[in-house]
Structure 1
Amino acid sequence: MNHVIVSSFDPITLIGGGEIAINDLTDSLALAPILVACDGGAKAALDQNHEPIAVIGDMDSIDSATKDAIGADKLHVISEQESNDFEKALMHCEAPVILGVGFTGTRLDHELAAFGALLKFASKRIILIGKHDVVFLAPQQLELNLPIGSRFSLFPMGAVRGTSEGLCWPIDGLEFAPEGRLGTSNEVNGPVRLTFEALKMLVILPREALPEVMRALQT
Structure 2
Amino acid sequence: MIVHELEPIVLIGGASLNNRDLDACLKHATRVVAADGGALNSIKNGITPDAVIGDMDSISAEILRQIPQDRIHPVTEQDSTDFDKALRNISAPLVLGVGFTGGRVDHELACYHAMLMHADRRCLLVGESDLVFVAPPELTLPLAPGTRVSLFPLAAVTGRSDGLRWPIEGLEFCPDGKIGTSNMATGEVTLRWQQPGMLVILPRDCLDTVVRALEAQSGSWPAL
Shorter chain as denominator, the TM-score bin is over 0.9
**Counterpart mapping for 1:202-213 below 5 A:** 202-213=199-210
**Counterpart mapping for 1:88-107 below 5 A:** 88-107=85-104
Give secondary structure in 1 for the equivalent of 2:19. coil
Task: Give the equivalent residue in structure 1 for 2:186.
Answer: 189
Aligned partners of 2:18 and 2:196: how far apart in 1? 29
The one-letter amino acid of 1:188's match is A
TM-score, normalized by length of structure 1? 0.97
- Deviation, structure 1 residue 48: 0.9
Q: Do structure 1's residue 163 and structure 2's residue 168 form an aligned pair? A: no
Task: Give the equivalent residue in structure 1 for 2:14.
Answer: 17
**Counterpart mapping for 1:33-44 below 5 A:** 33-44=30-41
Task: Give the equivalent residue in structure 1 for 2:222.
Answer: none
Q: Do structure 1's residue 179 and structure 2's residue 173 form an aligned pair? A: no
Give secondary structure in 2 for the equivalent of 1:31. coil
Q: Do structure 1's residue 49 and structure 2's residue 46 form an aligned pair? A: yes
Residue identity over aligned pairs, in percent, reads 50
Aligned partners of 2:196 and 2:208: how far apart in 1? 22
Where in structure 1 do 4 or more consecutive aligned residues deviate above 6 Å? none
Task: Give the equivalent residue in structure 2 for 1:216.
Answer: 213
The one-letter amino acid of 2:173's match is F
Question: How many residues are matched?
Answer: 216
CA RMSD, Structure 1 to Structure 2 (Å): 0.8
Q: Do structure 1's residue 141 and structure 2's residue 116 form an aligned pair? A: no
Give secondary structure in 1 for the equivalent of 2:66. helix
Task: Give the equivalent residue in structure 2 for 1:75.
Answer: 72
Question: Gapped runs of 5+ residues in structure 2?
Answer: 217-224
Task: Give the equivalent residue in structure 1 for 2:60.
Answer: 63
Aligned partners of 2:107 and 2:29: how far apart in 1? 23
- Deviation, structure 1 residue 71: 2.4
TM-score, normalized by length of structure 2? 0.94
